[in-house]
């Protein structure tokens, strides 16, 4: 069964999560602080990590950075820190989901199943469209997952790339947040529309430069988003 690393400095919460996951058939390993989390990650090679942010010794953000140096293992953040800035930072570090405390153990298990299912689909599925997008100074290669703006490389997380690629394949077409949520996370995601708002905000910071350019993501209030290509 999948091996899950659960990291939280509250033993009671750790036990609740461990019990819930074991009941679903997962192998569970635990850590009470960031240092233990990094050690367990290297030693046990889990298939998914559930990570609190407010940890002693090494905080959750630094654990994310360390993990992402060598691995794309899925990470679900579980934290009392529910501010948008924390979510943005977490997603920028490449986390796959974010669940605020207090939480439902049932919902957490559903999210674990969804993230693992989605990850396995992505690993096994061939690239559906290998054509390169190259227009108005924006270059996107889905085969190599490379992005460049005016010949300058841009580093994007997996979900940022997926969002940009989807919008670029449908230039000047409006999509609601619910449509984008489904397209990028598929039906397996149990979050809400705010996830799309955060993702679009991060993407804009990386691709919309200060100087004039021939493309941008436009918000249509009350409707959704579209990528404008001039």
User: Each residue of 182-224: pLDDT tens digit?
Assistant: 888 765 555 567 788 888 998 998 988 766 678 889 998 888 8
* Residue 9 CB neighbours (<10 A): 17
Given this model, what pLDDT does residue 126 score?
44
In this prediction, residue 49 carries a pLDDT of 97
Dig out the tokens for 42 from the structure.
């290297």
Specify the pLDDT at position 69. 86
Assess if residue 213 is contained within a domain.
yes
Q: d(Cα 1, Cα 24) in Å, to the nearest integer? A: 10
Q: Is the same domain home to 82 and 169?
A: no
Question: Among the residues of 97-157, which ranges form H helices?
Answer: 105-124
Query: To which H or E segment does residue 17 belong?
Result: helix 11-23
Structural domain that includes position 152: 133-229
pLDDT along the chain (230 residues), means of 10: 94 96 95 95 95 92 90 89 75 84 92 86 52 89 90 88 91 88 68 79 86 83 87
pLDDT at site 127: 46
Same domain, 113 and 214: no
Return the pLDDT at 125.
46
Judgement on whether residues 117 and 143 belong to the same structural domain of the protein: no
Residue 142 shares a structural domain with residue 99 = no
Number of domains the chain is built from = 2
Is 154 found in the same domain as 71? no
CA distance 8 to 53: 8
Predicted confidence (pLDDT) per residue in 29-51, tens digit: 999 999 999 999 999 999 999 99
| 107 inside domain | yes
- Residue for token pair 């598929």: 186
- Which CATH number do you get for residue 205? 1.10.10.10
Q: Are residues 154 and 81 both part of a single domain?
A: no
Final residue of a structural domain among 84, 99, 121: 121
Q: Which residues pair with 100 in a beta bridge?
A: 79
Whether 127 is in a domain gets the answer no
12 and 62: one domain? yes
- Given a contact cutoff of 8 angstroms between Cβ atoms, the answer to whether 59 and 34 are in contact is yes
Main-chain dihedrals φ then ψ at residue 179, nearest 5 degrees:
-65, -45
Decide: residue 187, CB within 10 A, 0-12 exposed, 13-18 middle, 19+ buried: exposed
CATH number assigned to the domain comprising residue 35: 3.40.50.2300
């Amino acid at each position: 069964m999948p091996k899950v690393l659960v990291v939280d400095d509250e033993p009671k919460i750790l036990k609740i999560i461990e019990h819930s996951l074991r009941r679903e058939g997962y192998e569970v390993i635990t850590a009470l602080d960031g240092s233990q989390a990094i050690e367990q990650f290297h030693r046990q090679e889990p298939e998914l990590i559930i990570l609190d942010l407010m940890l002693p010794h090494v905080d959750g953000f630094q654990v994310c950075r360390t993990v992402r140096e060598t691995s794309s293992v899925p990470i679900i953040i579980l934290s009392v820190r529910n501010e948008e800035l924390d979510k943005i930072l977490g997603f920028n570090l490449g986390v796959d989901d974010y669940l605020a405390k207090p939480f439902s153990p049932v919902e957490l298990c559903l999210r674990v199943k969804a993230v693992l299912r989605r990850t396995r689909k992505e690993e096994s599925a061939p690239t559906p469209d290998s054509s390169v997008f190259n227009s108005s100074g924006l270059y996107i290669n889905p085969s190599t997952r490379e992005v460049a703006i005016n010949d300058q490389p841009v580093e994007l997380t997996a979900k940022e790339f997926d969002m940009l690629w989807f919008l670029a394949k449908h230039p000047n077409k409006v999509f609601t947040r619910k449509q984008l949520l489904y397209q990028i996370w598929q039906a397996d995601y149990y979050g809400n529309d705010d996830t799309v708002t955060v993702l679009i905000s991060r993407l804009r910071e990386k691709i919309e430069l200060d100087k004039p350019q021939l493309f941008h993501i436009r918000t249509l209030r009350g409707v959704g988003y579209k990528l404008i290509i001039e």
